[in-house]
Amino acid sequence: MTRLLVKLFEAPEVEFRGLIDDWEQKTGRKSIDIRLTNQLTHLSKDILDYINLEPDASEREVYHALNLYVQKENKKIEEINERKKI
């Protein structure tokens, strides 16, 4: 089991391991925790690329970059809505 998921979900490791084992048994899919971790890692890298940050960016840098992105997108939406009013 990956420590990333334990940390991400702030879960007690032993209990979390049991949940993952149950999930794998019910779905018939082994190593689901590894697959999920890999997906999260790839998606986070894609997002960092999209907002022009390096993978080693600090939490503060990511927070500010995401806020800036949201502000820009909100401005675009407002401009579109203003054009529709005309």
From residue 55, alpha-carbon distances to 6, 7, 9 in Å are 21, 18, 21
Which residue's structure tokens are 């960016």?
57
pLDDT level of residue 86 (50, 70, 90 thresholds):
low
Q: Indicate the number of domains in the chain.
A: 2
The verdict on 62 and 75 lying in the same domain is yes
Which tops the pLDDT comparison, 36 or 2?
36
Which domain range does residue 36 map to? 1-50
One-letter identity of residue 67: N
Residues 64 and 25 grouped into a single domain: no
Query: What pLDDT digit, counting tens, does each position of 27-58 carry?
Result: 998 888 888 899 999 999 999 999 999 999 99
2 and 44 belong to one structural domain: yes
pTM of the model: 0.65
The answer to whether 16 touches 10, Cβ cutoff 8 Å, is no
Residues 57, 53: Cα–Cα separation, whole Å:
6
Same domain, 32 and 8: yes
- In this structure, the answer to whether residues 36 and 69 fall within a common structural domain is no
| Residue 74 pLDDT > 70 | yes
53 φ, ψ to 5°? -120, 155
Q: Indicate the average pLDDT of the chain.
A: 90
